[in-house]
Amino acid sequence: MTISRPRFSLNSVRVRITLWNVGILAFVLIVLGAVFMFSFRANVASAVDQGLAQKAHGRQHFFGGMPPDMTADVLAGRDPRPPHFGERFGPPQKQSKTPPPGGGPGDGPGDERFGEMRPRMFDLKGNALLHGAPLWDRTGFKRVVQGAPGVYSTIHASDGDVRVFSLPLQQNGVTLAVVQCANSLTHFQEEQARMQRILMTLIPFVLLIAGFGGAFLTDRALRPVREIAHAANKIEAEHLSQRLPVIGHDEFAEIAETFNGLLGRLETAFERQEQAFQQQQRFTADASHELRTPLTIIKANTSLALTSARTEEQLRKTLQTVDTAADRMNRIVQDLLLLARSDAGQMDYDLRPTPLAEIIEQALPSVQSASHAPVAVRLDPPDMRVCGQPDALVRLFSNLLENAARYTPQDGQITISSEAQGECVTIAVADTGEGVAPDHLPHITERFYRAEAARSRAHGGTGLGLAICQTIVDLHHGSLAIESTLGAGTTVRVTLPRA
């Protein structure tokens, strides 16, 4: 069933990726903008402070080198007016008649326009020297008078903020006056505001472009996913041989290859399940048939004995027939029970050292009769011991010998031989019988499998013998291999752990 979703739904991966990209980009741009503005303000403040300090220290150096009489004139408010002095401190400025806010001279810039922001010099009481201009910053002035080496401050005037640096003027280590240098921050603040406006305009524009570009690129990047989903929707349980398209060599291609591997495993599992189902159907049909045959014999003979007068000899033959059929049915049931327990993992043999000669000796009576081909035993060495469960091994070799005798004529030959191979022993049961066609060899150990079903039933086989042999060998951690040539005979090799 195909689930259709809008391409631009909030639940869509491409929309969520685009939103995440835009959100992260917005966060990065905001952080970068904040860092840029902070760096700009810090750099401007540093440049302004350096300029003020350079200007103020120049005045401090000049003041420290003045002659005593000139210093006295300056501190007394008299203007000696040497040419170089006017260049240093500028022409006299007219003192504002309007006192600054605060009620007294020197409490701040008041309504005074800063003009060129010339340095101003004051005595230790805050009185203006030479130019008659008021204090820019009384707080900074007081701190310098109290001993501070230099004080930076920012004051707020009617026409913008002003950065002020207050520095003591000393001679012979004694503070005699204070100089204040100022610089208007209005231009820098306007420049900062302009940059902020530019950033506020560019960021949404960049985010808009990033959103459309991200949506376009995400849509192209996820195109293989849509193709994979489209191809996956076409795959049905009956068509697991189909595969997803592998486009490129990126992560989506890796996902497609992984999914194709999963489809391959599912296809194999479905095939095995289908084979197992068919085998189970065949197993059920064969088991029913095998059990029905002795039951039919039992029912026919008992019904005949009950419905007609029978002599003692006839009754004895009837009972013998019934007993033989019951034995056959019991053997089939026991075989089926063994296979069922093996399938359920309930078989766990107690393996122990067992003489191989004793196992073969106990298995031989099942085929030692005049109606069977002769059996030759060649064990090398004769005292070979294997690691196994004696009863199970007797059943294993009894089945192999019965199977060989069933298809070997009386003038044929059955041979049992052994060969030590390192930690293992290989026992071969060879016959000169009819042999098995190559097409049947891969299936000969399957349950109820017969190369020729009618002939096998005629020989008394149930199709479970070799399946039980394979199960017993597996439980002994060994292996079973069958070689056969049609018309020449069959050799079954059993490899078991050596004790």
**Rounded CA separation 362/396 (Å):** 11
Domain closes at, from 289, 313, 342 = 342
Query: 56 and 150 in contact (C-beta within 8 Å)?
Result: yes
Structural domain tally of the chain?
Answer: 3
Q: Is residue 164 part of a domain?
A: yes
Domain identity same for 418 and 300: no
Q: Give the mean pLDDT of 207-212.
A: 85
Q: Is residue 167 part of a domain?
A: yes
Whole-prediction pTM value? 0.45
Q: Is residue 139 part of a domain?
A: yes
**Statement: residue 283 has pLDDT above 70:** no
Domain identity same for 311 and 352: no
Domain identity same for 32 and 170: yes
pLDDT digits 0-9 by tens, 371-386: 778 889 998 888 889 9
**Statement: residue 63 has pLDDT above 80:** yes
Would you state the pLDDT for residue 167?
93
**Statement: residue 114 has pLDDT above 70:** no
pLDDT digits 0-9 by tens, 467-494: 888 888 998 899 999 999 888 899 999 9
- Strand pairing category for 489-497 and 479-485: antiparallel
Domain identity same for 475 and 417: yes
> Mean pLDDT score of the chain, rounded to an integer?
78
Q: Is residue 285 part of a domain?
A: yes
CATH (domain of 310): 1.10.287.130
Domain identity same for 335 and 355: no
Domain identity same for 321 and 431: no
Burial class (CB in 10 A: 0-12, 13-18, 19+), 234: exposed
Position with higher pLDDT, 89 vs 369: 369
CATH (domain of 162): 3.30.450
Domain identity same for 78 and 41: yes
Would you state the pLDDT for residue 9?
60
Burial class (CB in 10 A: 0-12, 13-18, 19+), 413: middle
Domain closes at, from 191, 209, 241 = 191
Q: Give the mean pLDDT of 119-147.
A: 86
Q: Give the mean pLDDT of 423-442.
A: 89
Q: Is residue 202 part of a domain?
A: no
Domain identity same for 320 and 414: no
Among 45-59, 97-111, 175-189, 475-489, the least confident range = 97-111
CATH (domain of 472): 3.30.565.10
Q: Give the mean pLDDT of 381-405.
A: 89
Domain closes at, from 309, 342, 375 = 342
- Strand pairing category for 174-184 and 160-171: antiparallel
Domain identity same for 306 and 369: no
Q: Is residue 21 part of a domain?
A: no
Q: Give the mean pLDDT of 220-236.
A: 70
**3 state SS of 236:** coil
Dihedral sign, Cα of residue 203, residue 208, residue 213, residue 215: positive
Domain identity same for 329 and 417: no
Distance of CA 52 to the CA centre of its chain: 61
**Statement: residue 240 has pLDDT above 80:** no
pLDDT digits 0-9 by tens, 302-350: 887 788 777 888 888 888 888 888 887 887 787 777 777 777 776 777 8
**Statement: residue 246 has pLDDT above 90:** no
Would you state the pLDDT for residue 77?
66
Domain identity same for 335 and 461: no
Would you state the pLDDT for residue 33?
87
Q: Is residue 2 part of a domain?
A: no
Q: Give the mean pLDDT of 41-55.
A: 89
DSSP per position, 135-196: PS-HHHHHHHHTT-S-EEEEEEETTEEEEEEEEEEEETTEEEEEEEEEEE-HHHHHHHHHHH
Query: 136 and 162 in contact (C-beta within 8 Å)?
Result: yes
Domain identity same for 367 and 333: no
- Which structural domain, as residue segments, surrounds residue 275? 251-342
Q: Is residue 125 part of a domain?
A: yes
Would you state the pLDDT for residue 462?
64
